Every structure is written in structure tokens, then in C-alpha cells.
Structure 1
């Protein structure tokens, strides 16, 4: 009985993973196969196209102007990641190591951002940024997303810093290190997997952001890739091969970044799971 149970649990785990893999790969395969059809082709179910071609990709790229849209999204993502990581690291360090009045209340107030829907703040945020002349600029979206990501980032880094042995910071303090030195020379290097994981999550979230990008940047030349895809879908809502090709163009950079940092991402997630 005791030997059969671990074997059953292992088989059950593999079966669950197989179901999840099928649930992800089948729709993705359908989109990829549909994109290989010529534009305007009627696609019915899964099946290799009779005349596979990349015409749908070239037409979608030129019609939607995905070159500019992808550059805009890259600027937003590369602007959000370092700024959000810096703010999250500073906030997590303060909440994890410093004793100040109101720390518990302030941290609980910050965690409310994880529960409150950000859609409720879109309209006030738009008017506030318009008042200072930041709408229709990448900086508006960078600042908005940095604030949006702060609750999770502060919580993530706080837990990482609390999981590290206190002897490390105590030894650094004995050697005369100040707070900045402890953070930059001791804690952050030890939290590198967590930082990489958080940065990857920030990039994925910033790249996939649709509503804020749609509201804060209404200039067509400044639209991000997801926002541009939304307008493209509205203009070609019956051309399945064209829409499939456009979808793959938008998600391609995200998949590439994830595959490149996959090992670091899994390492950071496992590290947080074990230490937390």
C-alpha cells in the first residue's frame, strides 16, 4: 500500500500535467495552422493548410504597422522593469528590515492594491496625467504600470528579504556597513533569482497590458502591440488567417523572452516557494 501510493501520485501528477499541456498546445497549434493559410481563407478546425504560406504574416505586419507597435511595447516594457524593480526592492527592504511607526498599517494599506481592481482608477488616472501633460507619452504608461505593480513587487521582495538569514545583515552591520550597503552589496545579490523572476513577470504584464495602454495613449503612433492588435481585430474580424498571424506576431516576443529566461524564472519561483 505504501509503495503503491507514491506511484499513483506520480502518475496522477503526470496526467494532470498532460491535460494542462494539451489545453495550452491545442489552441496554440490551431492558431499557428490557421495563420499559414492565405488571407481570406475559411478555416474549419485543425488541419494542415492545402497551400501553406506566410502571406498572412506579411500582410498583417504591413497593414497594422507592427514594427512601430512592437517598438513602442518594447520601450514601455524596458522602462517599467528597472523602475518597478528599484521601487519594489526599496519598499521590500524597508518593510522587511526597518522598524518605523505605522509599518504594519502602511503595509496592509499597500496590500489593498492586490485586491482592488485597477479599472476603478483608470479614469482619475487619465485626468491626473492629462493635467500634467503626460498623456499620449510612454512615460504616462510607464509610471502608471510601475504604481500598479508596486503592491505585488513590495510583497514579493519583502518575503525574499525576510527569508534570508538575519546573520548576514548583522555581520554586515558589525563590519560598519550602512543600510544602502547592506541592500546593494548583501541582500540584492542573494536575491538575484527572485529579482529575475519579478522582472520577467513585470515585462510580461507590461507587454500584455491593454486597457491602460488604450486609455492613456490614444495617439495611433504611440499605441502598444496589444492595443494595436485590438484595433486590427476590429478592422479584420472575419479574416481568421490574418487575425491568427497578427496574434502570433504580438505574442512572439513574450514567448521568446520567457523561453530565454525560463531557467531563471523556475529557479526564482522554486526559491520563493521553499524559503517563503
Structure 2
């Protein structure tokens, strides 16, 4: 497809505008975080005397190290378990074409249509009946289930696009289903797995509603779910609130910047296959 020069220019202008609109809130938060703690900043203005110590104070007083440890504990279970289950299920639906696979696929699509908020009350009573309320497992187990429809559909889309000739050649050479999966399908799925891992990490790290409802102790929540804890600590200090929020955002930005190539590669791979 040939793209003329005007379309290229318009596309770049739109991307620049989107980038500016994305960075303005972060710049506003950053400038507000550097204001004196007892002031109420208004607008995007650079302070005459930047208070870099606000970040250290927010980190120490807001127990950011403990909160990040809690988030990493939750992520360490949610992401690997979700990847394993989604990869196996996606392979079964996309490559093995198992009996009843269409019904399962439609069932997963329906799962994507259910509003997240509609499940909070049933989840609360279910977690309470399991005796897991106010523990980190009250966040881990529901998130694995809630992410599963998207994760399985994502991996199925990859395996559907793998040429069936590869499987047929492996079977002719005497490979079992497990050997074919481990030696051929899994290496080809690395871009899709990497992109899915990034998405699951970002969604888990930024999860707010579940931790607030299911866990009473802020130090056992995700860092995003502990924003209410920050608000309680710094309810009268807007600069410290912004400093704490930026400390929470930084890890997600770092993860995306480091793994952006894998993420883009997976998206382009899916576009080419489509």
C-alpha cells in the first residue's frame, strides 16, 4: 500500500499531539511535586527553589519500599501463572483445534464483556468464604481469573497464525505433542508472551479497585491500591501526594521503556499475520 506524503505528515502531527497530551499531566505532577510541602500548587510552573527532598520524604514516610515489595510479590504470582495457563489453553484452542474449542472461545469472549466492577461484590463474599480476605492471595487469585479471558484469546491469536506445516513436519519426524510445543511452538511464541507479560505486569501493578475492597492493610496492597494510604498520610500536602504518585508510576514507565521493542514486535507480528 502506497502512503502519500500528506498522510505521513498528518500521522506524525497526530502522534506528536498525543505525545504532548500524554506528557503534560506527568510534567504537571513533576512540577507540583517539587513545590514546598506546605504550598498548594496551581498550574504548570517550575518552582524557584525545587524541593527534591519531597521524593525522599514521600518514599520514607509513605512506606514505598514495603508497598513495592507487596506489589512485586503479587506480580510474581499473577504474571507467571497467567502466562503458563494462557499459553497452554491458547495452544489447545489455536493449534490442536480441540473438540468444543469454539464454545470455549465464545465463552471467553463473553468473559471480556463483563464489567470489572460488577464482579467485586461476588468476589468479596467468595474470598471471605475461602478465608483469604485481607491477604495478598485475595488479590492474586481473582486477578489470575479476571485476566484469563484476554490472555487466552491473545495466545490463541498467535497459535492460529502459526503455519500448520510446522506441526505436520514435526509429527512426520516423530515428535510428540509436548515435544512440538516445547521445541517449535514455544520459541515462536516469545514475542506474544513478552507482550502479554508486559501487559499483565502493568495491569497488576496499577490495579486499584480489588486491593482497596479486599485488603484492609494498605501495606499488603499493590502500590496503586495504596494511593488511599498516601492520601491519608499527605491529605494536606499536594506536593507530597504528587511525589508519592510519581514514585508509583516510575517502575511501570521503566518496564515499558526497557521492553518496548518486544511489545512492538508482538503487535507487528500479529498485524502481519492478520
Tell me if TM exceeds 0.5: yes
Is the 8 Å Cα contact of residues 38 and 54 (structure 1) preserved in structure 2? Answer: no
Q: CA deviation at 1:234?
A: 4.5
The aligned residue for residue 180 of structure 1 is 178
Distance 2:166 2:136 in 1: 40
Is the 8 Å Cα contact of residues 193 and 265 (structure 1) preserved in structure 2? Answer: yes
Distance 2:124 2:182 in 1: 35
Q: CA deviation at 1:157?
A: 0.6
The aligned residue for residue 51 of structure 2 is 53
Given the alignment of the two structures, is residue 70 of structure 1 paired with residue 45 of structure 2, yes or no? no
1:34-53 deviation per Cα after TM superposition (whole angstroms, max 9, x unaligned): 11122122212222111112
The aligned residue for residue 127 of structure 1 is 125
Question: Which consecutive segments of 4 or more residues in structure 1 shift more than 6 A?
Answer: none
1:179-201 deviation per Cα after TM superposition (whole angstroms, max 9, x unaligned): 22222211110011111000000
Q: CA deviation at 1:266?
A: 1.1
Distance 1:130 1:19 in 2: 47
Given the alignment of the two structures, is residue 111 of structure 1 paired with residue 109 of structure 2, yes or no? yes
- Structure 1 unaligned blocks of 5 or more: none
Alignment of 1:139-178 (within 5 A): 139-178=137-176
The aligned residue for residue 214 of structure 1 is 212
Q: CA deviation at 1:71?
A: 0.7
Is the 8 Å Cα contact of residues 135 and 216 (structure 1) preserved in structure 2? Answer: yes
1:230-267 deviation per Cα after TM superposition (whole angstroms, max 9, x unaligned): 23225534422111101101111111111111111111
1:100-158 deviation per Cα after TM superposition (whole angstroms, max 9, x unaligned): 44221221011111111122112212222222222222223111111111111111111
1:37 aligns with one of 12, 30, 35: 35
The aligned residue for residue 199 of structure 1 is 197
Is the 8 Å Cα contact of residues 39 and 55 (structure 1) preserved in structure 2? Answer: no
Task: Report the RMSD for the aligned CA atoms in angstroms.
Answer: 1.6
2:11 aligns with one of 9, 13, 16: 13
- Structure 2 unaligned blocks of 5 or more: none
Distance 2:82 2:142 in 1: 10
Alignment TM-score, normalising by the size of structure 1: 0.94
Q: CA deviation at 1:54?
A: 1.7
Alignment of 1:250-265 (within 5 A): 250-265=248-263
Count matched residues.
Answer: 273
